[in-house]
Amino acid sequence: MESTVAQKLEAIHNLQLIDSRLDALIKVRGALPEEVQDLEDEIAGYETRLEKFQNEIEAYEEEIKQLKESIKDSEKLIKKYQEQQMNVRNNREYDAITKELELQDLEIQVSKKKIAEAAVKIDQKKIDLDELNAVMKDRQKDLDQKNSELSTIISESESEEAKLNSDREKALKKVDERLIKSYKKIRANAKNGLAVVLVKRGACGGCFNTVPPQRQADIREKKKLIVCEHCGRILAGVEDEIEDPTPAPKKKRAKA
């Protein structure tokens, strides 16, 4: 069954009321959700750097291990060449073995130098690692505190938010798809999240620009969807002003 314009306006206005209440609940949380997300991203970045430092330390340790093996190989060769040097038959063989001994000795010196350099780099990386761990520990404390604050705020309105979301799902089913698309588009561009408003005191309830009397009459009839010509919000109705029943005090006449 096709809904009347009045029914559509009632449904979309009801959806707006629910969304406005949900907006209010989210607003109470302030910047906490963003702060929590920023801290989580920051800590994730630290974890990546920690992993990188750890991998670099392991790479230097592996390099030192290989260099020590190289030194052992060179020492074995030196021992072998020294034994051969004792049994040379001429000066040419002696000189050749001497060069090999010098070469292996140089290899050992180079390896030892590289080991020392790698050890310095490991020490520096460990310092960086400790400093980063300390920073990360502090940021984790901040995150735990922010999460605790956020959880407290969310828990206070959890049941209400759940009911509102349930009501919202029901309200959405009463609004046709085209109108929902327009509603979402207007809401996305509105600073206060209001896409559907009433005319209050002769003005749009969203941008507060004056709505002409004839247009107000058309809105009251609810025979067609009317939007504010200034802000594009859907005008769902006109709120009647309630007159103050208390009579104004009479002014006393000034004595002649």
Look at residue 227 in the predicted model and tell me its pLDDT.
95
Average pLDDT of the segment spanning 38-62: 97
E strand or H helix at 44: helix 32-85
Look at residue 256 in the predicted model and tell me its pLDDT.
39
d(CA 41, CA 27): 22
The string of pLDDT tens digits covering residues 179-192 is 999 999 999 999 89
Structure-model confidence comparison of residues 65 and 242, the more confident one: 65
Look at residue 248 in the predicted model and tell me its pLDDT.
52
Q: Which two tokens stand for residue 144?
A: 């735990």
d(CA 158, CA 152): 10
Q: What is the mean pLDDT of the chain?
A: 91
pLDDT at 253 over 70: no
Share of the chain above pLDDT 70, in %: 93
E strand or H helix at 199: strand 196-200
Q: Counting beta carbons within 10 angstroms of the beta carbon of residue 193, is it exposed (0 to 12), middle (13 to 18) or buried (19 or more)?
A: middle
Average pLDDT of the segment spanning 105-133: 97
Give the dihedral sign, CA 69/72/78/81.
negative
pLDDT at 98 over 90: yes
Average pLDDT of the segment spanning 163-189: 94
**Residue 41: C-alpha distances to residues 19, 29, 47, 51, 146 (Å):** 29, 19, 10, 15, 14
- Kindly report the pTM of this predicted structure: 0.63
Q: Which region, left, alpha or beta, applies to residue 224 given φ > 0 means left and ψ of -120 to 50 means alpha? A: beta
E strand or H helix at 217: helix 213-221
The string of pLDDT tens digits covering residues 226-252 is 999 999 999 999 997 654 555 555 555
Longest dimension (CA), the chain: 150
Q: Which two tokens stand for residue 21?
A: 């209440």
Share of the chain above pLDDT 90, in %: 85
Q: Compute the C-alpha angle 180/14/214, nearest 5°.
A: 85
Q: Which long-range contacts (CB under 8 A, 24 or more apart) does 73-81 make?
A: 74/104, 74/105, 74/107, 74/108, 74/111, 75/104, 75/108, 77/104, 78/104, 78/105
d(CA 157, CA 13): 23
pLDDT at 25 over 70: yes
Look at residue 107 in the predicted model and tell me its pLDDT.
96
